[in-house]
Amino acid sequence: MNPSKHQQERRALLDAFRTSSGTSAILTDIDGTLAPITSTPAEAEVPEGIRETLAKLSEAYLLVAGVSGREPSEARELVGLRNIAYFGNHGLELLRAFEDDAEVVPAAEPYFERMRELELLAREELAPLGAFVQDKGIAAAVHFRNVPEEVGERCVKFVKEHAERLDLVTGKGRGVIEVKPPVEVDKGTACRRLIEEAGPKRAMFLGDDVSDLDAFRALAAMLDEGTLEQVVRVGVGGPGVPEEVVSESDLVVEGLEGVKKLLQDLIP
Ligand SMILES: [Mg+2]
């Protein structure tokens, strides 16, 4: 495609958002989209230029929200804006603008006690061995990256056994096992809830990873149903970005610089 044609198409996609910001929504992933991926999640930071731009957008748009795998209060701290909503824990918890406490999706509420039980057991049994037990609100994670392999295996076995007994589900990553209620939520259900509550005519989602595809697909479904009149799925390209993120997006931007430029172009 020649560059001017690309520019025209991009402008056409973004025009309605900019000129009708009061009926438009901007939803975005955080890590890898607004903040660079760092070796530990605690080091991640949203660059000042992106934060400032988002702050301007939040004043003009009907809805601006962060949608993340992180706990929502952590997502808010990372972005640094209190006046937008954060749907965290992969769709389990919503922290509304200016509120101090997140609300758990109703289907997950009955699992609070059981999550607490598992977390306490893990603290008693696994923390003394060197594992790090992370309280993620309605979810929990046991990190064993920095302990001997046999301790890691013990962590996985322990968490899986108790999760099964308590009717909770686990997901294993590299050096971590996560536990959460057996509730069908993801970034797609999170986007749907935010959009149905706010009622925008058009919505955009920015993301860089496979979990963001659920959001892309939810937006596409809402367009098909007629809930939305226009959707724009923005894939953030860069090293290690999964192929589907690019192939399922309407627009691809390069890295955080590309995200910043796009967000600036959305300012009315
Ligand atoms: Mg991401």
Same domain, 114 and 60: no
Same domain, 195 and 244: yes
Q: Is the pTM of this model over 0.75?
A: yes
Inter-helix orientation angle 255-265/3-19, to 10°: 50
C-alpha dihedral over 128, 130, 131, 133, to 10 degrees?
A: 50
- Provide the 8-state DSSP code for 36: -
- 142 CA distance to ligand 1 middle (Å): 21
- 78 CA distance to ligand 1 middle (Å): 13
- 244 CA distance to ligand 1 middle (Å): 14
Same domain, 128 and 255: no
- 208 CA distance to ligand 1 middle (Å): 5
Domain that holds residue 90: 3-105+185-265
Same domain, 112 and 163: yes
- 63 CA distance to ligand 1 middle (Å): 20
Q: pLDDT 10s per residue in the chain (268 long)? A: 566 777 888 888 899 999 999 999 999 999 999 999 877 777 888 999 999 999 999 999 999 999 998 899 999 999 999 999 999 998 999 999 999 999 999 999 999 999 999 999 999 999 999 999 998 888 999 999 889 999 999 999 999 999 999 999 998 877 889 999 999 999 999 999 999 999 999 999 999 999 999 999 999 999 999 999 999 999 999 888 899 999 999 999 999 999 999 999 999 9
Is-contact 49 78, C-beta < 8 A?
A: no
- 195 CA distance to ligand 1 middle (Å): 20
**Looking at the 3D structure of the chain, how many domains does it have?**
2
Concatenating the DSSP letter of every residue in 101-112 gives: S-EE-GGGGGGH
